[in-house]
Amino acid sequence: LSAVPPSAAGGPFTLEAEFQRDLDPRKVNLIIGAYRDDWARPWQLRAVAEAKKQLKVESSFHEYLPLQGSSEFIKSAKRLIFGDNIVNEMSESIASIQTVSGTGANSLIAKFLDKHTRCNNIWLPDPTWVNHKDIWEVNAPRILMRCYPYYSDSIHALDFDQMLHILTNEAQQGDAILLHACAHNPTGQDPTEEQWNKIARLCQAKKLFVIFDSAYQGFASGDLDRDAWAVRHFTSFSDLEIAVCQSFSKNLGLYGERVGALHVVMTRSPHTTAIHVQDRLVDLHRAFVSMAPLFGCRVANHIFQNQELQDMWHADLTTMSGRISSMRNALYSELLRLRTPGDWAHAKNQVGMFSYTGLTKEEVEVLRTKYHIYMLPSGRASVCGLTNANVKYVAQAIHNVVTG
Ligand code: LMR
């Protein structure tokens, strides 16, 4: 064992530990995508607090869930992402399993494709969520990881032509492609509906297996249905095979409870049944976690089953997305007021929890060491960490590092 080399992994959680050790009173945490209130404190959704109260959690049992998870939870999770029409029409064509949040769903689909299909390449966006590469490396050793251009640093926008160009020329029939359903992490930049449609047609023409990572439903627009548009649009192509990795960490604020689901949509032309895929997913899941955890799913399910709590949840989503968007505007206005060199419109126009600031690794380093402002080395800042009390300080520090 002494030959085991040290880990090179850094990532958001290592930086978070460093932030916790930092004793400077000015410190600002823009690291992890977890919602914070205007005092930079974790925030429990009102719907979640109320659900826990109604569930009388102190007297509940802690039994095993069935291997595929709670059937009630899965049914509701499916309706949330696909909508009533799709679920009513094609329920038999969708295999679903409760997972250990989004990471569990991503890991399970990677394992599944590695073991049960002839998929040779997984196409990941460049850039993407820092964990995607590790997930595919660990769970799908047979499948080669490839990257498609997604974002152009120079124009702070989607690199759409390049993305289509590379995928058209290099992706092979049967490859898998990973897409972020909304509020792309880390860039906060989503395709337009017209662009989504072009991507769907390309996937159809190339017969690509489409994997949607849906971790931010409700955070791009504040509306759950609108944020599911891309998933629902792709599902309308009856010959596309699609997986959706669904996380409720962010939109229910159940980060540590690991609530999520994986759905696999089969083709309807030709008609294929989901039953074998469903069974294989359950078998694979059994071998590495048995089944997903119960507590968070019970809370989520209670909200999904109760109209009053659902209304409360929607209001909570508006509260969270509204505060994030007001912080985006505040940061942008400050940078404008300071006449910070560069065009900062992307800071207010990007969606979801993150701002892909465009700051260099070196500038991020100075922000951390000199100003005690922490964000990922890629320049990704979690806007949730901005508050009315610190946004001016952050803008001034950015101004200082940019002007050197
Ligand atoms: C993030 O990107 O900050 C979050 O999704 C947390 C994580 O697991 O990396």
Look up the ipTM and state it: 0.96
Q: Are residues 158 and 279 in the same domain?
A: yes
Residue at a domain's end among 273, 305, 337: 305
* Burial label, 145 (beta-carbon count in 10 A; 0-12, 13-18, 19+): middle
370 in catalytic set: no
DSSP string, 88-100: HHHGGGEEEEEEE
Q: Which of 129, 229, 313, 344 is catalytic?
A: 129
Is there a single domain that holds both residue 292 and residue 330?
A: no
Which among 175, 250, 313, 316 is annotated as catalytic? 250
Specify if 269 maps to a domain: yes
Residue 361 within a domain: yes
Is residue 246 located within the same domain as residue 206? yes
The pLDDT, as a whole number, for residue 214 is 98
In angstroms, rounded to a whole number, what is the distance separating the alpha carbons of residues 235 and 214?
14
The verdict on residue 95 lying in a domain is yes
Question: Of 305, 323, 352, which one is at a domain's C-terminal end?
Answer: 305
Q: Which of 266, 284, 305 is the last residue of a domain?
A: 305
pTM for this predicted structure: 0.97
Residues 253 and 361 in one domain: no
Q: Of 374, 360, 373, which is closest to residue 15 (Cα–Cα)?
A: 374
116-151 confidence digits (pLDDT tens): 999 999 999 999 999 999 999 999 999 999 999 999
Residue 148's alpha-carbon distances to 124, 158, 380, in angstroms, are 6, 12, 19
Angle, CA 108 vertex, CA 293 and CA 174 arms, to 5°: 160
The residue type found at 200 is A
Q: Are residues 86 and 234 in the same domain?
A: yes
The position carrying tokens 């530990």 is: 17
Residue 55 lies in a domain: no
Q: Do both 300 and 316 map to the same domain?
A: no
User: Dihedral (C-alpha) 219, 208, 235, 202: value to the nearest 10 degrees?
Assistant: 90
Distances (CA, A) of 258 to 282, 290, 298, 375: 18, 14, 12, 24
CATH of the domain at 355: 3.90.1150.10
- What are the tens digits of pLDDT across the range 154-212? 999 999 999 999 999 999 999 999 999 999 999 999 999 999 999 999 999 999 999 99
If you ran DSSP here, which 8-state letter would residue 353 be given?
S
Residue among 35, 128, 129 whose CB has most ligand 1 atoms within 8 A, to mutate: 129
* Domain of residue 369, residue span: 11-45+310-403
CATH number at residue 77: 3.40.640.10
* Count: domains in the chain: 2
> What digits encode the pLDDT tens for the residues 205-238?
999 999 999 999 999 999 999 999 999 999 999 9
Q: Which residues line ligand 1 (CB under 6 A)?
A: 12, 32-33, 129, 131, 185
Is residue 285 one of the residues assigned to a domain? yes
Q: What is the pLDDT of residues 267-317, one digit of tens each?
A: 988 888 899 999 999 999 999 999 999 999 999 999 999 999 999 999 999
**How many other C-beta atoms lie within 10 A of the C-beta of residue 113?**
24
